[in-house]
Chain A
Amino acid sequence: MEIFSSLLGGFGTLFSSPHLIAALAGAVVAGMVVGALPGLTATMAMALFLPFTFLMEPATGLAVLMGVFAGGIAGGSIPAILLNVPGTPASAATLLDGYPMTRKGRAGEALSMAMFASAVGGLVSALLMSVLAPVIARFALNFQAPEFFVLAIYGLTIIAAVAGKSLLKGYIAGLIGLVVGMVGLDPIAGQLRLTFGSQALYGGISLIPVLIGVFGITQALVMVRESSGVTERPRISGRTLVSADDLRSSSGTLVRGSLIGSGIGAIPGTGTDIGAFLSYSEARRRPKGRIPFGEGNPQGVAASESANNAVVGGSMIPTFTLGIPGEAGTAVLLGGLLIHGLMPGPDLFTGSQSSLVYTIFASFIVANVMILLLGTLAARLFVHVVRVPNQVLVPVILLFCMVGSYAINNRIADVSVTIVFGILGYVMVTHEFPVSPLVLGLILGPMAETNFRRAMTITHGDWTIFFTRPASLVFWALIVLSLVYVWRSARRRRVQKPAESEDGPQAVRPT
């Protein structure tokens, strides 16, 4: 009951401020526009908007980030449906049925189904998040340094899950993040580390310029390298709204997709693409209906889009309650919380900050309703968005990255950090070193060290404290399970690889 009254309070704050609603609507549109641009991700959109949010009131700033996140994931479905190119990785499953629908002249219906499914998935996950997050946070209030240390180690094992093709390269990216996180004053004794006499490094390397660099500048450099825009001219003709029959037949798929997405999102290290594909494959196992999957079945679009937006809400549960960002998008969101002076974790749900948290939750719910309205009404306009050329996008991205990194602390040093990490990010992504582990290492490294040393101080150096508390044991069990899963996946990949290479040399070419 208390949760619902708090949530109502959040809605009250949101609707009592017209500029907050306007900012949220603008953020949803901006997120959808960036998501609709092939190659640009919701994470990059959030990184670009992060400095803007710093200049706003905390409630407005964080509502904007939520709007961009939800809008960005939903917007990714637009090029997937119109061009057969997923705007974001989250929409890779959407094109399987979305594009065949376009080829059959049903692009408008596919888009409105995608927006409807995104809204349903987002709303279901937002409600689950609003109910479960405070409960988990209340439980986590009992956690102390040993639990938080083991939790941070669990967070670091996620690196294996987001490592992509090469586990070693994922761990290397994570190590780079750990090294970067050690620069500056150490968290317990105040010892200067790895500054090598540079005063600019005394305060450490800030998270935000790093995020802007690895997600913003890196993307701009990749676009310069590829330098080709979309040449196809998609068109929307015929119906622009999904039929009542299709909605009725997809209702079960929508609910299942929303629940699958929410559950997957709550597990750190998974991500929107995994949720979407799981939901899609679950939908395929059910009775097919009149159109087979892969040939323009609206249920395919519903399964993928409901799940990928539901992942967003689910992934916020560990981020808000435990301070563990499960993937890159929530890592940027965590950065947004930090720059507004909010420390993610169970304490976020107590005291004066809790009303702000519920305003954020309420804004996520409203953002999903806006996705439905704006996405359906403006579907025809988004046809033009997907065709914006790189020569327009690259200068805008570069400019916003540079100005944004400067605006946070008004320091040229932050601009330099953004450039350096942008170049490093480019080198990494072009050689299959994932950048998400770098960000996770940078966030979780200091958390792990601080809590490790605090626990050792409390126990006068007794290591057994990490293995004797019940919650720590649960997290150790999760760590072991994650590592076993990763080991088995890597083994499976090794077995599959020789078989793939027999198919010909193109099997190992970059895609």
Chain B
Amino acid sequence: MAGDIGRGTPEQPAAVVRADAAGRPLTVPLGMAVLLLGAAVAIAVDVRGYREGAGGEPGPAAIPILVALLCAAAAIALVFQTLRSTAPPGEGAPSVFPVRVIATVATLTAAGLLLEQIGFFVTFTGLAFAGGLLAGARRWWTSLGGAVVITWVVMIFFGRLFAVPLPAGPIDVFLGG
């Protein structure tokens, strides 16, 4: 994604490489338009099974249909606005999805999936450790040490002080969680 911002190739001149006025790739605005159209279609499909309104009340489908129409209109307007705002050649901005951000998203997703399986302490120590490294920590052991301490403090704080039933693995029980 980073490489296609307003630079061009010999086969594809830079002038026709699509980017918005700030030099960012058009993928996200166009993706947002697709998301809106998808939402409009999903609503249109879903409202078919709704019951009718009674006594002058328009029913549960009325507002969703209106919102679906607005979504579709906004999607079309966004496509037009995005395609009209092509940046001049060589005006590329840095990618909004550098590897560090993608890795952080992957770590967050993994933490969400693993939380119930391996428990609070291991999951969130891993998350905090990875977060520190991805944010630019120079020494991995300080990042790991900090992650262990802060996760343990949070575990005791929420688990003991506020009695939140955090997902517990064997290590959590051992550490007093």
CB distance from A437 to the nearest CB of B (A): 12
Give bound CA distance, A391 to B146, whole Å.
10
Residue of B nearest to A431 (CB): B28
Residue B32 CB within 8 A of the other chain: yes
Residue of A nearest to B31 (CB): A427
Bound CA–CA A300/B47 (angstroms): 56
Q: Does A353 contact B (CB under 8 A)?
A: no
Whether A220 contacts B74 by the Cβ 8 Å rule is: no
Contact between A399 and B127, CB atoms less than 8 A apart: yes
Contact A221 B104 (CB under 8 A): yes
Are B32 and A433 in contact, CB atoms less than 8 angstroms apart?
A: yes
A402: interface (CB < 8 Å):
yes
Give Cα A171–Cα B50 distance, bound, in whole angstroms: 27
Report yes or no: A457 in contact with B100, Cβ–Cβ below 8 A: no
- Cβ-based interface call for A178 (8 A): yes
- B63 part of interface (Cβ distance < 8 Å): yes
Chain B residues whose C-beta falls within 8 Å of the C-beta of A400 in the assembled complex: 154
Instruction: Choose from A175, A186, A389, A452 the contact partner of B70 (Cβ within 8 Å).
Output: A175
Interface contact A456-B57, CB-CB below 8 Å:
yes
Asked whether, in the complex, the Cβ of B154 is within 8 Å of the Cβ of A175, the reply is no
Stretch of A1-9, A18-26, A238-246, A418-426 with 4 or more beta carbons under 8 angstroms from chain B: A418-426
Give the contacts of B4-38 with A (CB-CB under 8 A). Answer: 20-24, 28-29, 32, 36
Decide if A372 is an interface residue (CB 8 Å cutoff).
no
Let me know if A220 and B115 touch, CB within 8 A: no
Bound-state Cα–Cα, A281 to B172, Å:
56
Q: Is A295 an interface residue (CB 8 A)?
A: no
Residues of B within 8 A of A390 (CB): 135-136
When distances are taken between beta carbons in the complex, the residues of chain A under 8 Å from B42 are: 194, 196
The chain A residue with its CB closest to the CB of B136 is A227
A395 to chain B, nearest CB (A): 4
CA distance A263 to B93 in the complex (A): 40
Q: Which residues of B contact A461 (CB under 8 A)?
A: 55-58
Q: Is B78 an interface residue (CB 8 A)?
A: yes
Q: How far is the CB of A173 from chain B (nearest CB, A)?
A: 10
| B146 touches which of A392, A416, A426, A432 (Cβ 8 Å) | A392
Q: A505 touching B91 by the CB < 8 A rule?
A: yes
Q: Point out the residue from A224, A430, A449, A456 that lies within 8 Å of B56, measured CB to CB.
A: A456
Residues of A near B122 (CB, < 8 A) are: none
Nearest-CB distance from A231 to chain B (Å)? 12
Within 8 A of B (CB), among A184-228: 186, 188-189, 191, 193-194, 196, 217, 220-221, 223-225, 227-228
Q: What would 24 A/B residue contacts be, using CB atoms closer than 8 Å? A: A175-B36, A176-B36, A189-B57, A191-B50, A194-B43, A196-B42, A220-B104, A221-B104, A224-B101, A225-B101, A391-B137, A391-B138, A394-B135, A395-B128, A402-B111, A415-B112, A423-B105, A427-B32, A430-B28, A431-B20, A431-B29, A453-B53, A509-B23, A510-B93
Binding site for B on A (CB under 8 A): 52, 55, 166, 168-169, 171-172, 175-176, 178-179, 182, 186, 188-189, 191, 193-194, 196, 217, 220-221, 223-225, 227-229, 389-396, 398-400, 402-403, 406-407, 410, 412, 415-416, 419, 422-423, 426-427, 430-433, 448-449, 452-453, 456-457, 459-462, 505, 508-510
Additional A-B contacts beyond A186-B60, A431-B20, A509-B23 (11; CB < 8 A): A175-B74, A193-B46, A194-B42, A224-B101, A225-B98, A395-B135, A423-B108, A430-B28, A433-B32, A448-B63, A453-B57
